Chains A and B, each alone.
Chain A
Amino acid sequence: MSARRVLIFGGIALIAGGMLFGDIFAVFLLHQNGGRTGEALLAASRAVTARDSAAVRQDFARIGGLLEDHGTKLDAHAHMIAAGYLALLLALLQPYVALSCRSRKILAQLFVAVGLLLPLGIFLIHYVGLAYSPFSVIGWASVLADFAGALLIAVLIAEAWGLWRYFRGLRPDVGEPALPPDNSWESRTLLAGGTLLIVIGFLYGAWYAAFDLYEHEAREKNILSAMLNASTGSGGDAAQFVGDYGRLQAEKAVDVAAHSHIIEFGLLAILLTFVQRFVFLNSRWKRFWVRLLLAGSIILPLFVLLEMHLGLIAGGIADLGGLMVLIALLGMLAGILRYTGALDAQEENAR
């Protein structure tokens, strides 16, 4: 298998794995974790009313654990998908990497392996903690994740070195053929749709930074002050402020998730433009997977945003959108597997 094929398979598998993990996280863990964090915060505010400092510390230790659990899972999801995107990008650049065939292949295999190791390390941070660690705040799982991150950087620098050699006029012994232009309906639709998704995501991000970010930060400070004033008996209902705090966190989370997901899906659509020629399916199926992917790419961020107004129904529809993207991705991967199977069969027949 050539370096490009390793990177295409590995990249799509990492993206699909990251999305599946994200869907499982969203359905089974996200809301439950948020609910438990709210309960712990309410317990802390009641401990403040009861002047019980020890109970406050206990409640915050629980909140810290819950937030770490939430944050590491979110980071594992995001880093796995980002590694997948980078793998697909490197696949596109392979014709211009002036390194030997063997070096390119080793780099590709290493990239995919550490692309899996990095999110695994991040995922384990919450469970491994500081067990047997010689450091005061960094555990072995963090060390694993940081090591994988360093290896990713090293591979990227090596690929950049290969590109630099190509631009200096050097050519690899056995190069990957450059991709011929593809002007098919699938390719054009993914390119246009992906670019549009990215532009919408950028505009939404700019809107969020201009009108919501600072307001959210100021509101968080006010709610915390009001919560503690109410807990000390200076007026107001602490439970209501805990609820307000939870809603604010949810508001921030949906804004950030909508912004990041729409851009990521746009990137994915553009990247998939280049693998369409390798999807060995008839045009009816190819178009179906493209439509499904783009529909899911709009549904997920849109309904994530609507979650604040429509509640869990919108959350369920958003999860369905994520599942549509995932299924479309697996459908295309199946087509690519058929293509490479056909290539292998041709090579065998030629021998």
Chain B
Amino acid sequence: MSAARKLLIFGGLALAAFGMLYGLHYALFVEHQTLDRMGGSLTTAFVDAAERNLPATQLAIDEYTDTKYNYVRQVDAHSHWIGLAMVMIILGVVLERLTFREGTRVAIALALSIGSFSFPSAVILQTLTHRSSLSSGVAVVGSALVIIAMVAAAVGFARQRILA
């Protein structure tokens, strides 16, 4: 079994387990509390408005949008880690069908592995460093690596079809 294939299959399994562990931790210790906070702050915004306390209303809306900003990204990171892990494992299994030299296959495997880990990690980083250019930059580079790897894989499969 080639190094590229090992990297994709082992890396994919490890990433899937990591994504699931993150999801389990999130479901046990974070999600319910976050949803309660989100619902609570939106309710507070409306209750404050009913009491005509508009500055408090705005503060509650700010808290709601901040909590939702984090919630969306935390859930997205969980689903993207597992989804990309599955793409890695599948590509690992069909890697021999890519009509490229071993060096190119290793490059594709590396790009997909780095991108699959770093892109959701950067999404989590966004919750810690709100809208920082570092987290956005890593997310852009990570997703670009994943897209480039998949486009290269598509070309590899298409070449196989032509050669066949």
Contact = CB atoms under 8 A, between A and B. Distances in A.
Q: How large is the interface on B (under 10, 10 to 19, 20 to 34, 35 or more residues)?
A: 35 or more
Given A93-B9, A270-B90, A274-B93, A160 B14 contact: yes
Interface stretch (A101-109, A201-209, A307-315): A201-209
A223 to B, nearest CB: 10
B108 to A, nearest CB: 12
Interface stretch (A14-22, A44-52, A317-325, A336-344): A44-52
Contact of A150 (B24, B86, B89, B139): B24
Interface string B1-44: 10000100110011011001101100110001100100100110
Contacts of B24: 146, 149-150, 153
A224 B45 contact: yes
A51 B53 CA distance: 11
Contacts of B161: 188, 192
Interface in A109-138: 137-138
Nearest to A183: B164
B21 A153 contact: yes
Given A156-B16, A228-B46, A217 B65 contact: yes
Contacts of B43: 56-57, 60
Interface residues of A, number: 71
Contacts of A137: 32-33, 36
Contacts of A150: 24
Given A149-B27, A191-B157, A263-B83, A163 B13 contact: yes
A271 B79 CA distance: 19
A225 interface: yes
A57 B40 CA distance: 10
Given A64-B39, A263-B83, A270-B90, 13 more contacts: A45-B46, A52-B50, A89-B93, A93-B93, A138-B28, A153-B20, A160-B14, A167-B6, A192-B161, A196-B154, A199-B151, A202-B150, A225-B58
Interface of B: 1, 6, 9-10, 13-14, 16-17, 20-21, 23-24, 27-28, 32-33, 36, 39, 42-43, 45-47, 49-52, 54, 57-58, 61-62, 64-65, 68-69, 79, 82-83, 86-87, 89-90, 93-94, 96-97, 139, 143-144, 146-147, 150-151, 153-154, 157-158, 160-161, 164
14 contacts: A44-B46, A47-B50, A89-B86, A92-B89, A142-B32, A163-B13, A167-B1, A195-B154, A199-B154, A217-B65, A224-B64, A228-B61, A232-B49, A274-B93
